[in-house]
Structure 1
Amino acid sequence: MVLVLSACGGGSENIAIGPAASETNNVAKLILQAYGLEDGDYKAYQEGFGDAADGVQDGNIDVSIGILGLPAASIESLQASAGDVKMLGLSDKAIEHIEKNSGYRRLTIPKETYDFLTEDIETVTAYAILMGSTDTIDEELGYEIAKSMIENASENTHAQAQQMTLENALRGAEGLLIHPGAKRYYEEQGLTVENEVAELTADATKRKKEFILGTGSQGGTYYPLGGEMANLWNKYIDGMNVTNTETGASVENLSTIRDGHMDLGMSVHVPALQALNGEAEFEGHEVKNAAFIGHIYPEVIQIVTREKTKIKSLGDLK
């Protein structure tokens, strides 16, 4: 297979920053700005992490930035193929810049996470959450989806499914409208829900049977995890048939829900807040018909290169 990667910019380093208009793309640019790197200072490859990892392996990409679960199977696969993967951490100054300008917060990746790590890695994290359309996900359906996320998580074989617990259920919900069905389920389980409740136009008596779940690229975490989530909903929720679809992830999913072409979408909680408030990518195009249903897993910024590039930190790219 020949991998064709499209690059933008005139710098000397080839950096994969995620698909255009994706949350990975947005936060990757913020990270690079923290090191004084602007558009044009590097060649930007706007690919999903799977294709980007192939590019790192083939030597076409020097550095790849991804938002992934811990551990990420795609990084483990890259190490198995390349044998010399190096993970780059963020400096204290860079983390301070990122925290000041986004909803991401510091996280330490323990060296035990990957076999190739020799030290802990400092980075930033957010939360992956499930958003549902208030136009097509009625109250009872929202209740059943939230219930399944918690009570059937043990049947989901993806590593990140273990993060879908009642204890974690409201992580990433702060500031978002919550789906009334999800709120009812969580309160029945003893959780305190302080979010404003979304208003629904969805009508259970007119519920459709086919639903679309927006995930992410096949090489990332969303697509395989979302596929298993959809399979469990199809198994346990009567009359519901969910198809998971590959997308550019958060921003595309939220925009597609807004436009009425998607029912459920996986997203980082940061762009979900921006969508609600009409900020950043959503300025002038806010998303008012999407509501929080549940937490999925922590989203961790992971930056990889290969030892042969001799890159020891993002500061080396300046």
Structure 2
Amino acid sequence: MRKLKKNQFRFLALLLGMILLLAACSESKKNIAIGPPASETNSVSKIILDAYGLEEGDYNEHQEGFGDAADGVQDGNIDISIGILGLPAASIESLQASSGDVVMISLTDNAIKHIEANSGYRRYTIPKDTYDFLESDVETVTAYAILMANTDTINEELGYNLTKIMIEKASENTHAQAKQMTLENALLGSEGLPIHPGAKRYYEEQGLTVENPVAELSADVSDAKNEFILGTGSQGGTYYPLGGEMASIWNKNIDDFNVTNTETGASVENLSSIRDGHMDLGMTVHVPALQAINGEAAFEGHKVPNTAFIGHIYPEVIQIVTREDSGIKSFDDLK
């Protein structure tokens, strides 16, 4: 084998050093689960990280649903998981039961101001008695989970029945967040959104004042179908199990109607699927619903003109978890 010249040895040594340095840098980056592609979790996670001056190259990005992300935190493969969940979140309680050392990260005042200025999320305090592992209140942000309908497939009468049963049969839903589906809360998250005429009729019959613009329907009773799709979220989150119970209650109480809940990437995917005619009902955070109507953010150049508000489901709270052995107390620790 021909001997290498001294300069070649130097080049190879330098190259090897660079490879080892890059590997070390990659190893030192934290693994952060920011939610599936085309999800609201993914979008707001990037706003949160931006609030701390963290760019994509500053961490290893994992686009996981919250169930898989929680498993990753438990296994030590993910350092931080960001989720939009109801309170309390069963998946976080399960993670604590399995690991025994969950830490929930608070957002700083400056970060919250940045998030409020760049999104529809607003400050929210998670009381320390929400989870048994919390030692103090946690400062974060919140939005609203709402139900949107496809105006091409959900006619006025069906929209009326969906709304009525969603409110009046909520007590039959055993999911913890079902208690939020009340007449008092019904219009939370609807500001700026067109409302389904069936939903408007029901709410006004119950004495509510509805000021939203009324959506135009192309769906008609004469050509109504009886098989429908409800878009929810990942199995480890809140949408999927809650949506499954909602679907069962609708199916039991509406004649000639069957809706199947399906696992999705949640908000953005559900709204896009409604637009493209692949979905009839979709659970979503109210922030991307507004963006979909206005053709903004993920929907720039791709408005969703065929969707309308049915009702509020529950408050959506950003919950950021890690484990004690990660040594992470704040996103500032990642800089």
Q: Structure 2-normalised TM-score? A: 0.92
Partner of 2:315: 298
Deviation for aligned residue 1:205: 1.5
User: What number of residue pairs does the alignment pair up?
Assistant: 310
Aligned with 1:135 (options 148, 152, 164): 152
Counterpart Cα distance in 2 of 1:47 and 1:316: 22
Aligned to 2:239: 222
Match of 2:103 among 60, 80, 86: 86
Unaligned runs of 5+ in 1: 1-8
Q: 1:31-50 alignment to 2 at 5 Å?
A: 31-50=48-67
Question: Deviation at 1:206?
Answer: 1.1
The CA deviation at 1:210 is 0.3
Q: In structure 1, which of residues 170, 184, 200 is the aligned counterpart of residue 187 of structure 2?
A: 170
Which amino acid in 2 is paired with 1:33? D
In structure 2, which of residues 123, 141, 162 is the aligned counterpart of residue 124 of structure 1?
Answer: 141
Give the aligned residue type for 1:284.
Answer: G
RMSD (Å), alpha carbons? 0.9
Report which of the two has the higher share of helix: 2
Seq. identity, %: 79
Q: Which amino acid aligns with 1:133?
A: N
Q: Which runs of 5+ in 2 are unaligned?
A: 1-24
Counterpart in the other structure of 1:70: 87
Larger radius of gyration: 2
**2-side partners of 1:84 and 1:259: how far apart?**
43
TM-score by length of structure 1 reads: 0.97
Q: Which amino acid aligns with 1:164?
A: M
Match among 244, 251, 260 for residue 243 of structure 1: 260
2:298 is matched with 281
Aligned to 2:57, what secondary structure does the other structure show? coil
Matched, 1:192 2:209: yes
Equivalents in 1 of 2:300, 2:165: separation in Å?
A: 34
Q: In structure 1, what is the equivalent of residue 20 of structure 2?
A: none
Cα deviations by residue, 1:102-159 (Å, 9 ceiling, x for unpaired): 0000000000000000000000000000000000000000000010111000000000
Q: 1:51 aligns with which of 68, 71, 79?
A: 68
Structure 1 counterpart SS, 2:260? strand
* Aligned mates of 1:187, 1:316 — CA distance in 2: 51
CA displacement at 1:314 relative to structure 2: 1.1
Secondary structure at 2:110's aligned position in 1? Answer: helix
For 1:2-29, what per-residue CA distance to the aligned partner results, in whole angstroms no more than 9, with x for missing partners?
xxxxxxx957100000001210000000
Secondary structure of the 2:194 match is coil
Q: Deviations over 1:190-249 (max 9, x none)?
A: 000000000000011111010000000000000000000000000011111000000000
Q: 3-state SS of the aligned residue for 1:137?
A: coil
What CA distance in whole angstroms lies between the structure 2 residues aligned with 1:191 and 1:82? 46
Partner Cα distance (1:313, 1:15) in 2: 13
In 2, the alpha carbon distance for the partners of 1:185 and 1:21 equals 32
Cα deviation for residue 162 of structure 1 reads 0.2
2:225 matched residue in structure 1:
208
Task: Give distance in 1, aligned partners of 2:229 and 2:129.
Answer: 37
Alpha-carbon shift at residue 316 of structure 1 (Å): 0.6
